[in-house]
Chains A and B, each alone.
Chain A
């Protein structure tokens, strides 16, 4: 039996279908990889026994018509999984075992996949480097001193290290796209409302979206197709027909208009990012796309707007972790208030506390109008920027991050420099638009860099197609040596 764990999900599915490998054999290969990769600290909880049971069930009674037949998948530990501990990377949910399954993971299981384990992430998805997790930082397989990005850092790392054939993350301000770029993988944040939020531990409800993280664009289309869909349990879910992203994936992008927003050429942007972007434009142009310069004038307000809206919602969303009904409860405290204070002091890490404080502040009487309300207004302007331009262009091409993966500990003392990492990714969240990050080259240190395509609302197919065409024509090689084994 050949080790096929380094292959794409699409290739693996072909081998399952052709019975070249059984689901049990495949699952055992991934389990072996995971056991050899403890150094990377990607898994918070494993579900090997259950995975092998499910693999055997599949092999005994296979259904090859499913999108993900007999495929073991590890998922970000922000998705509630029935009877499997779900921590959100936090001490406050250290012992929390849901009795229910998130809609998105259920959709995956309904399409033939099963759970392999739960992947490390920044605490409550608050972070850009996976250094805020209660379960320790995750290491980027690209280099042993590098962060894997965040907040879906366990997901990006596990994927790049062949510990799962594909995975899912959540993206509130770039938490799928930035780690994808840091690891040379593909990550897509769907249109707000395309994937149900039901059963996902909430960070900022108006921004959170689940999405696929994969090795190829084809895999991305497959995963998106499996996980998305209307859910009446989520009031913000979009009611529409399910799309066949994988079947409709095309690499012909002739005549498509690609917008290049001048505001994304930020001060101090490293030359190699600029070069990457130029090269991306060239590849798309050579494929017959038209490159059009555009302006998104409110871009510079996106980051401050995001860092008001997201903490505001988070401060309220995280109020439920009070030790009364589930999760960590402090043994100290002589009355209810002290119990709250101790529970939350012990349960939350510094970054989460920082954001709860910011969020509480911007919603406070006397500050609400100046911060929260103003941020909501600016958010509308940012959205309008995109609406105006999408009458002229089909998609917008930008870098996905201002740099490649940085060193562990490099930015932990400076939250603002950490926040700046989200500068290219937050506008799509604020506007609710789909955006895909895909590998586009390496920097001079040999670390992967990514580009981002932002599409119109529900225009996932188009940005997938463009990324697909790009992928076929970009000589990107993300050979990762398994130094951790």
Chain B
């Protein structure tokens, strides 16, 4: 296997005979952010006591009927718009029939032939340039409940709290070519949906999970190889591991002259391998047919227009604006728009302080601190307003970068305002030329010997003098001014 170089795509699997390209398509299941379920009024809150958020509809009692939750429909349309996709004003709910203990109806209500959202696209910024990933479709469906097998040796328990929660299944085209692209794609989808407020993207809670389709083909081949589907992978890291394992497995099969069977596989996270779950022959016949309890979903064009108008600025647009208005580079802009909250924080600071310096400090010290404390930006101990003051103090020369780091530490610990910290601790930079000249004069007088050496050509000693000035000023001497004055004095 060959790694990724900075500016050229070169992910492929090296076999004994040939090199292989990896083809990946994802079916992402994103839980819709909504108060209630897709077809019932039950709460969708995560982590509730088992079976306490279950209506008669969710548990499929006799005579119960589904009624579509309009908010879930709007969320799907918003997401479709965010994916630059075609919104289908006519879509149909179908029944996908299969038996399982956590599927009370004996069928899942989903959309099969007529999804609510059609083709769209997502842009990825890869180190080797921008890459477009096609979206095949997005459809609405019900989530199943949860079977719990490890509470009792001989019984399975069922929790239906999740049963009936709305999912958006977002199907990509087979356009992804590496685990890194999968990483970028999932992050981008997540970012778009979080901007839109249509999915919280919380992978630990299962709000975002994916089925991963993997196939390989010899470099240069036009035809796709036989694919395997790896079911229900719930972290980016596991997706990447599963793809690497699966691609290598397929290449090994091909190289030894064997065939790849189209099948559904499971990723064992403990053993880091994929295992066959069922073959194509054993595949379920889901007997899809239009759900007669629900009329086809017809969207008023005005509804779609209104949703379009009320769409927030999305990461791609915002990135362009950040580059144009704030003079950021692509990398900085990408990082700062990755989360809506980060971009908001940045803009709040940058509109009153130096834009570039804000970016540098956010991506440096601020992110490092948040990372270390495992906080997200909305939980930051430093408010945007205080952070802006800190940046202003650096920019105006009131404090040096080095002092600023100290102020930053104190801000994190005390939550105090930077001005107050600078003043109370006397950390203000010494920028009065007369004061500095006086100080430097004294230092030079004390070390006459070194001054002579310098003047005799030992110019390396300049740093020594700067150090002495900083030491004497408690680090507060304005470095630029210090340099200028030292140079002036040492010339004499």
Within 8 Å of chain B (Cβ to Cβ): is A122?
A: no
- How many residue pairs link A and B with beta carbons under 8 A? The number is 96
Given contacts A364-B285, A365-B285, is CB(A319)–CB(B106) below 8 Å?
yes
**Contact segment of A46-54, A136-144, A199-207:** A199-207
Given contacts A235-B67, A363-B289, is CB(A324)–CB(B101) below 8 Å?
yes
Within 8 Å of chain A (Cβ to Cβ): is B61?
A: yes
Within 8 Å of chain A (Cβ to Cβ): is B56?
A: yes
Whole-angstrom distance between the Cβ of A387 and the nearest chain B Cβ:
19
Q: Nearest residue in A to B66 (C-beta to C-beta)?
A: A235
Q: Are A319 and B107 in contact (CB under 8 A)?
A: yes
Q: Per a CB cutoff under 8 Å, which of A96, A204, A233, A364 touches B287?
A: A364
Q: Is the interface of A mostly helix, strand, loop or mixed?
A: loop
Within 8 Å of chain B (Cβ to Cβ): is A182?
A: no
Q: Are A316 and B107 in contact (CB under 8 A)?
A: yes
Q: Nearest residue in A to B286 (C-beta to C-beta)?
A: A365
Within 8 Å of chain A (Cβ to Cβ): is B262?
A: no
Q: Are A198 and B158 in contact (CB under 8 A)?
A: no
Q: Per a CB cutoff under 8 Å, which of B56, B95, B104, B287 touches A324?
A: B104
Whole-angstrom distance between the Cβ of A342 and the nearest chain B Cβ:
13
Q: Nearest residue in A to B57 (C-beta to C-beta)?
A: A233
Within 8 Å of chain B (Cβ to Cβ): is A102?
A: yes
CB-defined A-B contacts under 8 Å, sample of 15? A198-B63, A198-B64, A198-B65, A201-B62, A202-B293, A206-B292, A233-B67, A234-B67, A235-B65, A235-B295, A236-B294, A316-B95, A320-B60, A325-B60, A368-B289
Given contacts A316-B97, A319-B97, A319-B99, is CB(A200)–CB(B285) below 8 Å?
no
Q: Nearest residue in B to A341 (C-beta to C-beta)?
A: B99
Determine the chain A residues whose CB is within 8 A of the CB of B156 once the complex forms.
Answer: 336
Determine the chain A residues whose CB is within 8 A of the CB of B444 once the complex forms.
Answer: none
Q: Are B65 and A88 in contact (CB under 8 A)?
A: no
Please report the C-alpha to C-alpha distance between residue A407 and residue B66 in the assembled complex, in whole angstroms: 41
Within 8 Å of chain B (Cβ to Cβ): is A312?
A: yes
Within 8 Å of chain A (Cβ to Cβ): is B105?
A: yes
Q: Nearest residue in A to B96 (C-beta to C-beta)?
A: A316
Within 8 Å of chain A (Cβ to Cβ): is B59?
A: yes
Q: Are B105 and A320 in contact (CB under 8 A)?
A: yes
Given contacts A205-B293, A236-B293, is CB(A98)–CB(B104) below 8 Å?
no
Determine the chain A residues whose CB is within 8 A of the CB of B293 once the complex forms.
Answer: 202, 205, 235-236
Identify 13 new A-B residue pairs, CB closer than 8 A, beyond the known A96-B62, A102-B63. Answer: A86-B62, A93-B62, A98-B61, A201-B63, A204-B292, A235-B295, A236-B292, A316-B95, A316-B287, A318-B106, A319-B97, A322-B101, A325-B61
- A307-318: CB near B (< 8 Å → 1, else 0) gives 000001101101
Whole-angstrom distance between the Cβ of B289 and the nearest chain A Cβ:
6
Whole-angstrom distance between the Cβ of A157 and the nearest chain B Cβ:
24
Q: Nearest residue in B to A201 (C-beta to C-beta)?
A: B62
Whole-angstrom distance between the Cβ of B298 and the nearest chain A Cβ:
12
Within 8 Å of chain A (Cβ to Cβ): is B133?
A: no
Q: Are A325 and B106 in contact (CB under 8 A)?
A: no
- B85-101: CB near A (< 8 Å → 1, else 0) gives 00000000001010111
Q: Nearest residue in B to A324 (C-beta to C-beta)?
A: B101
The 8 closest A-B CB pairs, nearest first, are A319-B106, A206-B292, A205-B292, A363-B287, A320-B60, A199-B63, A201-B62, A365-B285
Q: Are B106 and A316 in contact (CB under 8 A)?
A: yes
Q: Are A88 and B62 in contact (CB under 8 A)?
A: yes
Whole-angstrom distance between the Cβ of A85 and the nearest chain B Cβ:
12
Q: Are B61 and A326 in contact (CB under 8 A)?
A: yes
- A75-101: CB near B (< 8 Å → 1, else 0) gives 000001000001010000100101110
Size of A's binding interface in residues, CB under 8 A:
43
Within 8 Å of chain B (Cβ to Cβ): is A372?
A: yes
Determine the chain A residues whose CB is within 8 A of the CB of B56 once the complex forms.
Answer: 99-100
Within 8 Å of chain B (Cβ to Cβ): is A232?
A: yes
- B384-423: CB near A (< 8 Å → 1, else 0) gives 0000000000000000000000000000000000000000
Q: Are B62 and A340 in contact (CB under 8 A)?
A: no
Within 8 Å of chain B (Cβ to Cβ): is A355?
A: no
- B18-35: CB near A (< 8 Å → 1, else 0) gives 000000000000000000
Q: Are A322 and B106 in contact (CB under 8 A)?
A: yes
- A335-373: CB near B (< 8 Å → 1, else 0) gives 011001000000000000000000010011100100010
Determine the chain B residues whose CB is within 8 A of the CB of A232 once the complex forms.
Answer: 67
Q: Are A316 and B61 in contact (CB under 8 A)?
A: no
Q: Are A312 and B289 in contact (CB under 8 A)?
A: yes
Within 8 Å of chain A (Cβ to Cβ): is B68?
A: yes
Please report the C-alpha to C-alpha distance between residue A364 and residue B68 in the assembled complex, in whole angstroms: 27
Interface residues of B in 254-306 (CB under 8 A from A): 285, 287-289, 292-295
Interface residues of B in 209-226 (CB under 8 A from A): none
For B97, B100, B288, B289, which residue has the most chain A Cβ atoms within 10 angstroms? B289
- A220-235: CB near B (< 8 Å → 1, else 0) gives 0000000000001111
Whole-angstrom distance between the Cβ of A257 and the nearest chain B Cβ:
32
Q: Per a CB cutoff under 8 Å, which of B95, B104, B287, B295 touches A360?
A: B287
Determine the chain B residues whose CB is within 8 A of the CB of A199 once the complex forms.
Answer: 63-64
Whole-angstrom distance between the Cβ of B282 and the nearest chain A Cβ:
13
For B104, B105, B293, which residue has the most chain A Cβ atoms within 10 angstroms? B293
Given contacts A80-B62, A319-B97, A322-B106, is CB(A235)–CB(B294) below 8 Å?
yes
Determine the chain B residues whose CB is within 8 A of the CB of A100 once the complex forms.
Answer: 56, 61
Determine the chain B residues whose CB is within 8 A of the CB of A205 once the complex forms.
Answer: 292-293
